[in-house]
A and B are shown apart, each in its own frame.
Chain A
Amino acid sequence: NAGVMQNPRHLVRRRGQEARLRCSPMKGHSHVYWYRQLPEEGLKFMVYLQKENIIDESGMPKERFSAEFPKEGPSILRIQQVVRGDSAAYFCASSPPGIGTDTQYFGPGTRLTVL
């Protein structure tokens, strides 16, 4: 049973470019969370999605950031016009529906570097 998959694992972008981070949850999991870990800082919640719905985006910057989890395919975290301060590790976590939805399993992360 494959775990949570994220790609790419490393992404380098120049300032002003777009970054697209993909997350495929564990099989049978329909809840996806995105977290960001800035250098020397803790993990911070960004957004929580279920299939085709954004449930909670309270941790996501209002500008330049968006997320989706379509009916088919992976969840996407999109960062437009990246700036150096976006350089961080972005982790996706998934959990199953129903009882136990608060137990999350993390993917390997995408390390974004903005030049």
Chain B
Amino acid sequence: QKEVEQNSGPLSVPEGAIASLNCTYSDRGSQSFFWYRQYSGKSPELIMSIYSNGDKEDGRFTAQLNKASQYVSLLIRDSQPSDSATYLCAVIQSGTSYGKLTFGQGTILTVHP
């Protein structure tokens, strides 16, 4: 079992729709969770961090965390073509007091006009 798994995609949504990206993790003691966006040929860019169960909203982005189910998701409302990128879920596993990130494989999102 992979430590961090993401739905493989690619995911294609029409402009204006909600894009839903999912991630599960194996280490039940993980405490810190992140979503990064990576455009082709570019570096990862931090979109959201979440530490507590529930929802966290920032503009068009909402991160959802459910520690009991070991599940974290990212919703993108009113998707735009500029949102087309690879989305990376990252986790800091238990027993780590610093920012050693374990990444999922990424989900490729395409938003078509």
Interfacial residues, chain A to chain B (CB-CB below 8 A)? 31, 33, 35, 41-45, 48, 55-56, 91, 93, 95, 101-109
Contact = CB atoms under 8 A, between A and B. Distances in A.
A41 B88 CA distance: 12
Given A106-B43, A106-B44, A42 B104 contact: yes
Contacts of A45: 100-102
A102 B44 CA distance: 15
16 contacts: A43-B44, A43-B90, A43-B103, A45-B100, A48-B98, A91-B43, A91-B44, A95-B99, A101-B98, A101-B99, A102-B49, A102-B98, A103-B34, A103-B99, A104-B101, A107-B43
Contacts of A109: 42-43
A109 B44 CA distance: 9
B102 A104 contact: no
A42 B100 CA distance: 15
Interface in B89-109: 90, 92, 98-106
What is the size category of the interface that chain B forms with chain A? 20 to 34
Given A108-B42, A108-B43, A102 B103 contact: no
B32 interface: yes
Nearest to A91: B43
A75 B101 CA distance: 19
Contacts of A48: 98-100
B27 interface: no
A105 B36 CA distance: 10
Nearest to B92: A102
